Amino acid sequence: MRNLRCALLLSGLVCAAASNVYAQALEIGASVGTSCKGSDGSFCSDTHSALRTMGPYAAVWFVDQLQIGGRGAWLRQPDLDGVLFPEQFAFAITERRRMIAEAEVTWHFRPGKRVRPYLGGGLGGYRDRELVTCEPVGCEARLTRIGRRAGEHRQSHSTRTFIAGLSVDVLPRVRVHDGWKYHNPFKDELALSEVFVAVGYRFWSP
């Protein structure tokens, strides 16, 4: 939770810096993508693939190459259920959602060109939410076998992100970004690989 707050605070401070004499433009937009969670040493889990991500972002451009800003995103994960033997009780894990908030820095190469590759990184956190239920009555004590407890649960984690992609000027003030973000690389279930497309509008520039 602390990392989420820090990321949101830093993002707000960066956007406020748009009035700084060194800032060239303020860009606000939204992104949509598809993501995949890692699992047990695997880059992509079959159970958690093709997860849709979407959310807003805001960034300030400096010297036409450095972009600093913040981004929020949400994704819904598939429900899980099963039956445990020999007790023969059923469990379900539903309403599984994740919220991501992070500050990002990217460096865009080929200044002045219409199509530009970029590299960068992000720092922030995400919060997971899920609801665990089971039946018949009295099954709650047995949920420890799957490492769960009955009820609604929220858990926060920090995230460090690698970013790579291309940005394209499609109109004088409209820029499209597409690329790849790898959150928490090589950390199994905490890792998240995301392919995205974002569209942003530059509200002002000198």
**In the predicted model, is pLDDT for residue 129 greater than 50?**
yes
Q: Of 71, 131, 145, whose CA–CA distance to 96 is shortest? A: 131
Instruction: Supply the range of the domain harboring residue 22.
Output: 2-81+100-123+160-204
The CATH number for 110's domain is 2.40.160.20
In a domain, 130, yes or no: no
Query: In this predicted structure, which of 1-10, 78-87, 107-116, 139-148 has the lowest mean pLDDT?
Result: 1-10
- How many structural domains comprise the chain? 1
Is 91 part of a structural domain of the chain? no
164 within domain boundaries:
yes
pTM for the model stands at: 0.79
Work out the number of other CB atoms within 10 angstroms of the CB of residue 110. Answer: 12
Query: Residue 170 falls within a domain, yes or no?
Result: yes
What are the pLDDT digits (tens) for 152-183? 989 898 999 999 999 999 998 899 999 999 99
Rounded (10°) CA dihedral 184, 118, 57, 61: 130
Residue 143 placed within a domain:
no
> Across residues 63-82, what is the average pLDDT?
88
Task: Report if residue 40 sits inside a domain.
Answer: yes
